[in-house]
Amino acid sequence: MEQLWAPWRFPYIKSDRPPGCVLCDAAKERKDDQNLIVLRGENNFVILNAYPYNPAHVMVAPYSHVGSPGELSREELANHIELVVKAIEALRKAFSPAGFNTGMNLGRVAGAGIEDHIHTHVVPRWEGDTNFMPILADTKVLSESMESVYKKLKEYLV
């Protein structure tokens, strides 16, 4: 039997997380290319997911470090939704997906990998993007590099 390896997933899977908040740290560093922040808005930013479900999987996150959408101001909430819409439009132009999954995972039991800093996932979907690999090999095949996705998406998120 052949084995497929995805060692890049291990840091995400293991239970002990590094100190601090990966979203806050990325936003503060101002190294957008390195941290894969494709757009900065007034109260939120759009960042590529470092552990994507599909190519071009982005997250919209507030600069405020909060664990619930109810903790955001009206302005932060409005800007959050505006950037979700903008991300969808840019992903349509850059990658022509057939559809999208969008949403928040609130709490660890709901699948939140970063449970104390809310963010909305925007996952582009294509016909046939699911296959036997995740089921049989517990491995997701991503068809495009993070660098390529960043460059394409950055072009449409201005």
Residue, of 44 and 154, whose pLDDT is higher? 44
Judged on CB neighbours under 10 Å (0-12, 13-18, 19+), 84 is buried
Q: Which architecture, in CATH terms, is 19-156?
A: 2-Layer Sandwich (3.30)
Residue, of 63 and 130, whose pLDDT is higher? 63
Mean model confidence pLDDT for the chain: 86
pLDDT tops 70 at residue 63: yes
* CA neighbor of 148 nearest in space, from 22, 23, 52, 9: 52
Q: What is the DSSP letter of 44?
A: E
- Calpha distance 127→41 (Å, rounded): 31
**pLDDT per position as a tens digit, 22-34:** 999 999 998 999 9
- Calpha distance 78→9 (Å, rounded): 33
Longest Cα–Cα distance in the chain: 55
1 confidence band (pLDDT: 50, 70, 90): low
Query: Could you give the 3-state DSSP secondary structure of residue 60?
Result: strand
In percent, the amount of the chain with pLDDT more than 70 equals 80
Supply 79's token pair. Answer: 């800007």
74 confidence band (pLDDT: 50, 70, 90): very high
Q: How many CB atoms lie within 10 A of CB 122?
A: 24
Q: How many CB atoms lie within 10 A of CB 148?
A: 12
Residue among 57, 80, 117, 119 flagged as catalytic: 119
Q: What is the pLDDT of residue 67?
A: 94
Instruction: Give residue limits of the domains in the chain.
Output: 19-156
121 carries an active-site annotation = no
Q: What is the pLDDT of residue 102?
A: 95
37 confidence band (pLDDT: 50, 70, 90): very high
**Least confident stretch, 25-29, 60-64, 96-100, 149-153:** 149-153
Q: Count how many residues are written for the chain.
A: 158
88 confidence band (pLDDT: 50, 70, 90): very high
Long-range (24+ apart) CB contacts under 8 A made by 131-139 are 133/4, 137/4, 139/4, 139/6
